[in-house]
Structure 1
Amino acid sequence: MARVPQLHCETFAELPHRDATDREPVAGALQKGLKKVITDSSCPSDGLARVVRTVLFMDLVESCRLIQDNEVEAAGRWRKFKAHIENDIVPAHRGRLIRTEGDGLMVTFVELRDGLAATFEIQHASGEVNTGLPPQQHMLLRMCLHVTELYEDERDVYGRGVNLAARLYTLAGPGEIVVSAQVRDQLTPDLDADIEDLGECHVKHFDQPVRAYRIGPPGPRPVIERGTAFLPELRPTIAVIPFASRGSEAGQQVLGEVMADEIISSLSRTAELQVISRLSTTAFRERDATLDEISAFLGARYVLSGAYRTSGDQVVLVAELAEAKSRHILWTASIKGRATHIMLGEDEMIDRIVAETSGAIIDRELQRARSQALPTLESSTLLMSAIVLMHRGVSHDFNRARDMLEALIERARRQALPHAWLGKWHVLRFNRGWTNDRAAEAQAALGCTRRALDADPECSLAMTIDGFVHTNLLKQLDVGQQRYESALAVNPNDSLAWLLKGTLLAFEGEGDEAVDATERALRLSPLDPLRYFYESLGATAALSAGRYERAVELAQRSLRVNRTHTSTLRALAIAQSLLGDVYAARLTLNEVLAIEPTLTVTSYLERSPSGAYKTGKIWSEALRQAGLPA
């Protein structure tokens, strides 16, 4: 069967959009109850009529992924559902089908009431076709309604308002309906619809934000719960099944649950993974359940399981990590430990399992991200891969990370995390010397953090990245400090906030406090996939405190994972120079210049937030002594 063709809102991108002032006459006309064709001497005479219409735009969420999973089944279900919309629902509400291409439809209505009723009926029908199916097979629509002036002929509709309708749907989550202010003005809350104000929202290709509202069918109970309507999960899920005992001695039967508990506890500190609780996974202990059964019951993408034997105090655990959907074994190992150390939480076995399974999951997500088209990827794959790739020193990976984040934002515009990480991307772009336009990157980054905080005012990551922007791009360290404190007030265990707060203190020369903050960040995130980034900034804090040996240790540890991270190389060169090992510092600086050939003492001071402080003078002099040109 041929693949279902895709419809993207770029279909309408060639049409100029209406700005805020252009929309005022439309709103005024609507308030006067204009429902008929508007005569206009400027209207073309070639069959076009200028009218006011309600435009319904709908889009099937993650259609590429559904097709990728099961092409024939998904295409057949969508064709049947779409035929029901086109042949039954739209005509019943006096709608006119304008476009039906692949995974998108556009319909116009003369009366808003008809459009509203049709939209609610389509939403209800979507729920019915998903009944009895697992969540990953659900067909969910994003829909929007907009009342606007437009031009129509016997074949199509045209105009600026069509452009806005084609963008508004991106503000809707899966299964949601979003409407414009022009629609909201004609609705009576609780009678016509349950209404939630989304505020001023930014949409692609529109310079000014637009006011948007989320609606649901009216009824005695509200159907909209803020922030809960089908937002995609942004972290891959892992289930750790308590390890089975195989011929273990009496008294050692509990070890399987103890080891699983320790692994769950450690994995839960990794912000990039969602870990199923032990209370849920214990039900599968000693059961001969298949991966399909475990995945279906727990909703896990990855499953860690295994068995162990004991002999005295010796424990031998054979563990494996499997991907549930493909049934592929991603990692397996036979690991030895001591029962007494495990019970006391002192055995390195647990740390090794957590580190290696985390690494295997990241590698698998990256492999998937590099081998598949962005629309076919799970949202969690997009986010995890983007975070990892943006911290690598390769421009191709860095730019791929931006594409992933933008694709995720288009898919889940009201999720805070993708906006926040894209803000950090803009800071890193300047820090790495890939652009010299500090002001433009600062403006772009602040726009990202603003949208993240609009989506979730309590998002500690967004507050942290906002502080990062003010510190590294705007050099407003006082504002940066306030943002980090706000983030920690919301989440005292936000390791990135502690890390960047420590780095800010290092720039200001508060070395001991800087070390305390960065070491705390390392303790809070001992197995973070970006640990090398933490160690890199920890080296900067150690420099500020005059602990040059510790700075060398942390920098070298970081470079073993990422040799092209220039800020780490600079920290290492500074530490080596300040320790008197100028020869080693020059070798390290040569690595820096191979990546950043235009770096000079002057550009370093201009770029670094430490430039206005004593630390900046000390560090720049150390780089000069190592051979950095003035």
Structure 2
Amino acid sequence: MSASTDLPSPFARQTKVLMVMDVVESVRLMEQDENDFVARWQKLVDRTEHHLLGLHGGRLVKSLGDGLMLEFKDALGCIRAGFALQELAAQGNEGLASEQQLHLRIGAHLAEFVADKHDIYGSDVNLTARIAGLAGPGEFIITAELRDRLAPNLDADVEDLGGCYLKHVAEPVRVYRVGPPGHQPVIAPGQTVRLDLRPTIAIIPFSMRSSEPGQELLGEALADDVIAALSRTSELHVISRLSTTFFRGRDDSVDDIKAHLGASYVLSGVCRASGSDLALFVELIDTKTRHIVWADSLKGRVSGVFSADDELIARLVAAISAAVMHHEVGRAHRHALPTLEGYTLLLGAVALMHRNSPSDFKRSREMLEHLVERSRRHPAPHAWLATWHVLLVQQGWSDDPQAQGRQAMDSTRRALENDPQSSLALTVQGFVLTNLVKDLAGAASSYQAALQINPNESLAWLLTGTLNAFMGNGADALDASERALRLSPLDPLRYFYDSLAASAAITAGKYDRAIELAKRSLRANRSHTSTYRALAIAQSLSNQMDDARDTVQKLLELEPSFTVTQFLARTPARGAMATTVADALLRAGLPA
């Protein structure tokens, strides 16, 4: 006898309204005061489970550690419960400092799922959690399916956010931000909580050891120069000179400096002068671990301290930047993502995406997406995620460049929604428009807007140079690129700056300078295919054909299927410039 096909299924498929809510920056709040956070969270959960859910037709599906998954009979009950939850959180924050406040983010969806006696399962369950990740502090995000069951202006104020890309979801999902009826705007000004995405460094005035009269303040002048130079770097927050002077000549502990200045790193040192010679010993300390992460002895000239082109200051600033980045990348590799500070995630992700190793590149995206989920209202993670998509295409690793273009534009849109005055977001928008959309006029407008906001945005100057190179404006391309190099970016990006500056030098006809920059770039990163292309073009155009053919062979070792046809499809360059570089690559032996 055959088995019956009518046996009851152990699972029951249902369609109900699901809500996921969690606490923004729960890791930071736990580290700040674990007992206080747990007590406040448990109080909120208890009131939710025993009072709020009963009023709105909901039930607790499961606890998510620092969040809850809830189920409701209808859309209106879910919406009202979400507003009540935000109100509970707001009441609990009364009288607390901003850094102690507990903020919820909520996402909801009309979900189809399978249930058993233990749990619920299905792609819609995961989608609901992803929707919650779109919300900023104090925000409530819902899908179009749920929005269609509400009466706008009666049940809720509704703001259309358009199609948003979500992790592990192929197509964009249409979502809406909701607030209580009559609550204008949906996002109240000043209500957002942001992660600090820049490590803070304090430079303590250097102690002076000298028998020479009149040099007592040389150490302080040197520290001032370092502060001024580091302040031009957007990736670091530098404590002002007025604040660090307090610690001059004192024997305070690292803990004391951290408590007073809130610094992630402290740089201190001893300066010795003998005649016209200057020696500086410095050490950089991680205030969290109290470990020395970098130390070095540097030599220079006393007169150089008061020179705008002092090599000692340039070497010191470059070494500090590299040490901070290297330390943060190491931390990002060693620890799980939820335990990392925002600046570790950002600096680590930026460094890893420029290493051009597929595994590091993948890790970079994971870090950026995790950071986006933790800080939806900050423009920087969205901007760097857009950059990631551009680099994926430029490295030849994308199976669908058009999809990468859509996702990159979506990320820049979110970045600029969060902060229309973000020079980084405007710069990256131009980067996307140039390389993936091929809208050079739009890119030029974006770079110009970025530089109007921040004339020292080095990446905007660099990409302005590249844009001029694509358009055949050699002198302007080289001028903007050299200006970007003078603004001293952090070390992991230096090869990228040198590589793009080499392309600008090619357009200006400065082939020796292009070869110098490309070779310097390759010393820092030997896996960047764009640099090999620039080097081969410069060598070919300067009739160094043996060297050009060797360079092309190294390029093909990294990207065996690369051809001139692919190059022309990928580059935004057009007209005579595109023809010139394509011919140079053909002569160097790149297959047509």
Q: TM-score, normalising length from structure 2?
A: 0.84
1:614 to 2:581 alignment: no
Unaligned runs of 5+ in 2: 1-8
Structure 1 distance, partners of 2:347, 2:541, is: 37
1:626 to 575, 588, 592: 588
Structure 1 distance, partners of 2:112, 2:519, is: 63
Secondary structure (helix, strand or coil) at the match of 1:209 reads strand
**1:541 matched to which residue of 2?**
504
1:331 to 278, 294, 298: 294
Say if 1:216 and 1:223, in contact at 8 Å, map to a contact too: no
Say if 1:593 and 1:599, in contact at 8 Å, map to a contact too: yes
1:185 to 2:185 alignment: no
Say if 1:150 and 1:158, in contact at 8 Å, map to a contact too: no
1:494 to 439, 442, 457: 457
Structure 2 distance, partners of 1:429, 1:572, is: 21
1:353 to 313, 316, 335: 316
Secondary structure (helix, strand or coil) at the match of 1:357 reads helix
Say if 2:44 and 2:88, in contact at 8 Å, map to a contact too: no
What is the Cα deviation at residue 104 of structure 1?
1.2
**1:91 matched to which residue of 2?**
50
Say if 1:172 and 1:214, in contact at 8 Å, map to a contact too: no
1:158-196 per-position Cα deviation (integer Å, ceiling 9, x unaligned): 99998776445324445x2436575983479xxxxxx99
What is the Cα deviation at residue 585 of structure 1?
1.1
What is the Cα deviation at residue 363 of structure 1?
0.6
2:228 to 242, 261, 265: 265
1:522-578 per-position Cα deviation (integer Å, ceiling 9, x unaligned): 223365541221111111111112111111111111111111111111111111122
What is the Cα deviation at residue 449 of structure 1?
1.6
**2:475 matched to which residue of 1?**
512
Structure 1 distance, partners of 2:392, 2:471, is: 23
2:174 to 181, 197, 209: 209
Say if 1:393 and 1:564, in contact at 8 Å, map to a contact too: yes
1:477-500 per-position Cα deviation (integer Å, ceiling 9, x unaligned): 233323323333333332222222
What is the Cα deviation at residue 149 of structure 1?
9.9
Q: How does 1:213-292 map to 2 (within 5 A)?
A: 213=178, 226=189, 229-246=192-209, 249-292=212-255
Query: Which piece of structure 1 moves more, 307-316 or 330-339?
Result: 307-316
Secondary structure (helix, strand or coil) at the match of 1:530 reads helix
**1:398 matched to which residue of 2?**
361
Count residues with an aligned counterpart.
Answer: 565
**1:120 matched to which residue of 2?**
87
Structure 2 distance, partners of 1:326, 1:183, is: 54
User: In the superposition, relative to structure 1, how do residues 111 and 556 fare at CA in structure 2: closer, same or farther (>3 Å)?
Assistant: closer
Structure 2 distance, partners of 1:303, 1:457, is: 33
Say if 1:318 and 1:335, in contact at 8 Å, map to a contact too: yes
Which one-letter code corresponds to 1:627 in the other structure? G
1:577-606 per-position Cα deviation (integer Å, ceiling 9, x unaligned): 222211111111111010011112222222
**2:514 matched to which residue of 1?**
551
Structure 2 distance, partners of 1:383, 1:492, is: 23
**1:601 matched to which residue of 2?**
564
Query: Which piece of structure 1 moves more, 309-318 or 427-436?
Result: 309-318
2:338 to 375, 379, 392: 375
1:80 to 33, 39, 42: 39
Structure 1 distance, partners of 2:497, 2:393, is: 19
**2:426 matched to which residue of 1?**
463
Structure 2 distance, partners of 1:231, 1:589, is: 46
Structure 1 distance, partners of 2:534, 2:476, is: 18
1:223-245 per-position Cα deviation (integer Å, ceiling 9, x unaligned): 97636622101111111111123
Structure 1 distance, partners of 2:346, 2:151, is: 34
1:90-143 per-position Cα deviation (integer Å, ceiling 9, x unaligned): 535464544323221245785976764453233332567xx58x95xx573423
Identity %: 46
Structure 1 distance, partners of 2:273, 2:580, is: 57
1:585 to 2:513 alignment: no
Structure 2 distance, partners of 1:481, 1:57, is: 42
What is the Cα deviation at residue 86 of structure 1?
3.4
1:383-424 per-position Cα deviation (integer Å, ceiling 9, x unaligned): 111112212222111121111111111111222221121212
User: In the superposition, relative to structure 1, how do residues 143 and 445 fare at CA in structure 2: closer, same or farther (>3 Å)?
Assistant: closer
Say if 1:242 and 1:260, in contact at 8 Å, map to a contact too: yes
2:283 to 295, 303, 320: 320
Secondary structure (helix, strand or coil) at the match of 2:360 reads helix
Secondary structure (helix, strand or coil) at the match of 1:143 reads strand
Say if 1:57 and 1:104, in contact at 8 Å, map to a contact too: yes
Structure 2 distance, partners of 1:328, 1:405, is: 27
Say if 1:389 and 1:400, in contact at 8 Å, map to a contact too: yes
What root-mean-square deviation, in Å, do the aligned CA atoms of Structure 1 and Structure 2 show? 3.7
**2:495 matched to which residue of 1?**
532
Structure 2 distance, partners of 1:599, 1:167, is: 37
Which one-letter code corresponds to 2:172 in the other structure? D
Which one-letter code corresponds to 1:462 in the other structure? A
Unaligned runs of 5+ in 1: 1-43, 189-194
2:377 to 407, 411, 414: 414
Secondary structure (helix, strand or coil) at the match of 1:335 reads strand
Secondary structure (helix, strand or coil) at the match of 2:42 reads helix
Structure 1 distance, partners of 2:122, 2:530, is: 50
User: In the superposition, relative to structure 1, how do residues 208 and 306 fare at CA in structure 2: closer, same or farther (>3 Å)?
Assistant: same
1:293 to 2:260 alignment: no
Secondary structure (helix, strand or coil) at the match of 2:437 reads coil
Say if 1:58 and 1:142, in contact at 8 Å, map to a contact too: yes
User: In the superposition, relative to structure 1, how do residues 377 and 183 fare at CA in structure 2: closer, same or farther (>3 Å)?
Assistant: farther
Structure 1 distance, partners of 2:127, 2:521, is: 47
Say if 1:56 and 1:143, in contact at 8 Å, map to a contact too: no
Q: TM-score, normalising length from structure 1?
A: 0.79
Structure 2 distance, partners of 1:187, 1:285, is: 60
1:340-370 per-position Cα deviation (integer Å, ceiling 9, x unaligned): 3213345322222211111111110110111
User: In the superposition, relative to structure 1, how do residues 216 and 492 fare at CA in structure 2: closer, same or farther (>3 Å)?
Assistant: farther
